[in-house]
Structure 1
């Protein structure tokens, strides 16, 4: 039995145009997870690894409870992708990561095996993920 994921977003430039999009993605199965990335302790950043498999994935969403330290905007949540057994370089995650379509998800690696989140802030951060998969070849 398949599941339907409805998605919708819009971006409004203040005083300028708005871009909106919506659609649906039918998947055979999905997994939702939530992890907490601990706060920085002393000089050690908090870190959490999230194991996932994007084989056949057609939708991937990563959302955090916070992306930037409100007291120091230069301090940001980071993530690194491990794909094919190789860990990538950590990059800043400054907003939700939304990838729709198998080819878009493959931009991260094929398949993604793990996401490692690093929290350099003084407060824990909650990460929510949703992966929708088409199990049929």
Structure 2
């Protein structure tokens, strides 16, 4: 049985245009993950989903705080760190593919000075 994830994104430029994106994303499975990354945690592993990134249709990474001292790596500790300075939303294979061919786990490093709560929502195909 499939599930639908509804997306509504509204961008307003003050004194300028407004853009509205609304769509439903049909997925076979989804996972909602809430994890605390402690102050000074380094490469804390968060298991995301089994399988290849080609199965992932959408990925949202949201934090209770942001900054250049909060980063994550995709798959392994040797990967290039990605700064989590804003919410990050990856929609479709084009965007998800930017993270690599395997995204079954993320490794978070927090040097912000306080604990942060990370929320992750992944929508995926369960039958590749």
Q: Which TM-score band (shorter chain)?
A: 0.7 to 0.9
Deviation digits for residues 32-59 of structure 1 (CA, Å, limit 9, x no counterpart):
11111101xxxxx323221223631111
TM score, norm. by length of structure 2: 0.85
The residue that corresponds to 2:18 in the other structure is: 18
Deviation at 1:101, TM superposition (A): 1.1
Distance 2:79 2:20 in 1: 31
CA-based RMSD = 1.8
Kept in 2: contact 1:81–1:87 (CA 8 A): no
The residue that corresponds to 2:93 in the other structure is: 102
Distance 1:115 1:86 in 2: 9
TM score, norm. by length of structure 1: 0.80
Cα 1:76/1:22, change in 2 over 3 Å:
farther
Distance 2:19 2:69 in 1: 26
Q: How many residues are paired up?
A: 124
The residue that corresponds to 2:69 in the other structure is: 76
Highest CA radius of gyration, 1 or 2?
1
The residue that corresponds to 2:63 in the other structure is: 64
Name the structure with the higher helix share: 2
Q: Secondary structure at the match of 1:105?
A: helix
Deviation digits for residues 55-95 of structure 1 (CA, Å, limit 9, x no counterpart):
31111111111103xxxxxx53111112xx67321121111
Name the structure with the higher strand share: 1
Q: Secondary structure at the match of 2:57?
A: strand
Distance 1:100 1:49 in 2: 23
Please, which runs of 5 or more residues in structure 2 have no aligned partner?
Answer: none
The residue that corresponds to 2:104 in the other structure is: 113
